[in-house]
A and B are shown apart, each in its own frame.
Chain A
């Protein structure tokens, strides 16, 4: 197909002008060719931007016209600023009492502190300094022993256990429930590590190999339960071309890594309707990492990467998480687990950086052992 025809077809495809048959044929082409698929996604994004641009131009035009009409009809006129006294004077007269009180408190406080300091300083004498240096000696002596202890505290993996798999995960309930991929948990036991590097014991509650989702629960006295989770689990299917980002632990050093991309198809590998195809640089450790849309809603869980195409990955849809939670309720053994999925997104804040700073507190590196 020539480029110009291809583009025409893409535009028709996106605007829904193709017949059902043509559409199905084109879907097949998209699945076969990652290049064409990417063109579709890119063009959709571009057309959306054009649409927004056109709309803004129109509303600006309307607004300007309405304003000049009203102005011509004498609706408003520039007014002189009301004769307000100088701001500093205004503030002074308003707050002078407060300032006076604050100042006198300040004075008292200054005198008070210097008295305390004078009174206490002499007691900071030679003997204390001596004690300190003694303490240093003790520390020196114990250094080896301590080093050993530190190592022991560091890991919560049982002594003879062997780490066999790992990935990423994220909280879905403040009580400590974490979602990850089933294939991340190849062993019988698991620990999770938060973004500060703290290890926590976890128990595998549920694993669904078909959908590649698993549920863990943190069971550790060191776990600090957060008040709320800042992302809602999206209950609807997301749009093609939607911008997405992820946070995961793809590296061995447990450092959290940010990645961004876009949703490139509403179905996954070979048309699997329970997952999305996404365009993102996904490394192995990203398995189980959440996918957020630009509003900060959770829309999926990264699952597998297509071996051949660089940057193409798949993500289990967020609706499957809801299915997992419902499945738990229906099962005799697990029906008492009361998971409350977060319903509100509060992280769609002003900039991505502060959003990530907040989100990373809910992300975990997952390790499984035997």
Chain B
């Protein structure tokens, strides 16, 4: 019961992007993934990448209102990592025999669908933002991602007043939206 409470607290911390919670997750579970990946044709860096992806997946899962984790964090992370690593091995054409694993895993087919969808949306937004160029990229990131005020942004980017910054932001935003929506397919 106590362990369960701890897991809940940990997930709550993760949901709030608390570095203590992230650290605990690394300390408790990374070695398991490291062993798994390194015993299956992978390197330390591969393990790091796969674990990070799994942690992001868990993070995005705990953000949902409908969030329920039906197993231990350990099992969930391992299942995601296993799936991701298997996929990467297949992409590299290295996958031939059953993986050697000692951990319990669950079927995460359903979650993987949503994870892939979110990955795709993230990649589209990332591409769109990066193809905007400066100062548009930093201006929009300042406003929408870092939640800075118009006044602050105006002085940071050397606009004479907040209205000028607002105009510039509007133009940049329209370009970003266009870039985003030409790739992002509603409903798919």
Indicate if the CB atoms of B113 and A87 lie closer than 8 Å: no
**How far, in whole Å, are A82 and B63 apart by their CA atoms in the complex?**
38
Indicate if the CB atoms of A350 and B186 lie closer than 8 Å: no
| Residues of B in contact with A (beta carbons under 8 Å apart) | 17, 19, 22-23, 26-27, 30-31, 34-35, 38-39, 43-44, 48, 52, 55-56, 59-60, 63, 66, 96-97, 100, 109-110, 112-114, 116, 118, 121-122, 125-126, 144-145, 166-167, 170, 173, 177, 180-181, 184, 186-188
Indicate if the CB atoms of A56 and B60 lie closer than 8 Å: yes
B64 — nearest CB in chain A belongs to which residue?
A: A295
Indicate if the CB atoms of B30 and A76 lie closer than 8 Å: yes
Interface centre among A50, A60, A88, A295 (most CB of B within 10 A): A50
- Sorting the interface of chain A by its residue count into under 10, 10 to 19, 20 to 34 or 35 or more gives 35 or more
Q: A7-B170, A7-B173 are in contact. Are A67 and B145 (CB under 8 A)?
A: no
| Residues of A in contact with B (beta carbons under 8 Å apart) | 3-4, 7-8, 42, 45-47, 49-50, 52-60, 62-67, 69-70, 75-79, 81-82, 84, 87-88, 91, 243-245, 260-262, 294-295, 348-352
Q: Which of B56, B66, B113, B118 contacts A59 (CB 8 A)?
A: B56
Closest chain-A Cβ to B60's Cβ sits at a distance in Å of 7
A46 — nearest CB in chain B belongs to which residue?
A: B177
Q: A53-B145, A262-B187 are in contact. Are A70 and B56 (CB under 8 A)?
A: no
Indicate if the CB atoms of B39 and A244 lie closer than 8 Å: no
A-B contact pairs, 6 of them (CB 8 A): A49-B184, A63-B55, A65-B19, A77-B44, A78-B44, A243-B186
Q: Which of B27, B125, B170 contacts A75 (CB 8 A)?
A: B27
**How far, in whole Å, are A62 and B38 apart by their CA atoms in the complex?**
24
Q: A70-B27, A87-B97 are in contact. Are A244 and B187 (CB under 8 A)?
A: yes
Closest chain-A Cβ to B29's Cβ sits at a distance in Å of 12
Closest chain-A Cβ to B131's Cβ sits at a distance in Å of 15
Indicate if the CB atoms of A66 and B23 lie closer than 8 Å: yes
Task: Please indicate the chain B residues that have their CB under 8 angstroms from the CB of A53 in the complex.
Answer: 121-122, 125-126, 145
Indicate if the CB atoms of A57 and B23 lie closer than 8 Å: no
Task: Please indicate the chain B residues that have their CB under 8 angstroms from the CB of A70 in the complex.
Answer: 23, 26-27
**Secondary structure type dominating chain B contacts:** helix
Q: Which of A52, A67, A81 contacts B121 (CB 8 A)?
A: A52
Given A55-B63, A56-B56, A260-B187, list of 8 further CB < 8 A pairs? Answer: A7-B170, A49-B125, A53-B122, A63-B22, A63-B56, A64-B52, A66-B22, A261-B186
A to B contact number (C-beta, < 8 Å): 120
4 closest pairs, A vs B, by CB? A260-B187, A350-B113, A78-B44, A54-B145
A65 — nearest CB in chain B belongs to which residue?
A: B19
Task: Please indicate the chain A residues that have their CB under 8 angstroms from the CB of B116 in the complex.
Answer: 350
**How far, in whole Å, are A65 and B145 apart by their CA atoms in the complex?**
19
**How far, in whole Å, are A198 and B59 apart by their CA atoms in the complex?**
46
B144 — nearest CB in chain A belongs to which residue?
A: A50
A297 — nearest CB in chain B belongs to which residue?
A: B66
Task: Please indicate the chain A residues that have their CB under 8 angstroms from the CB of B39 in the complex.
Answer: 81-82, 84
Indicate if the CB atoms of A260 and B188 lie closer than 8 Å: yes
Interface centre among B30, B173, B180, B187 (most CB of A within 10 A): B187
**How far, in whole Å, are A8 and B96 apart by their CA atoms in the complex?**
56
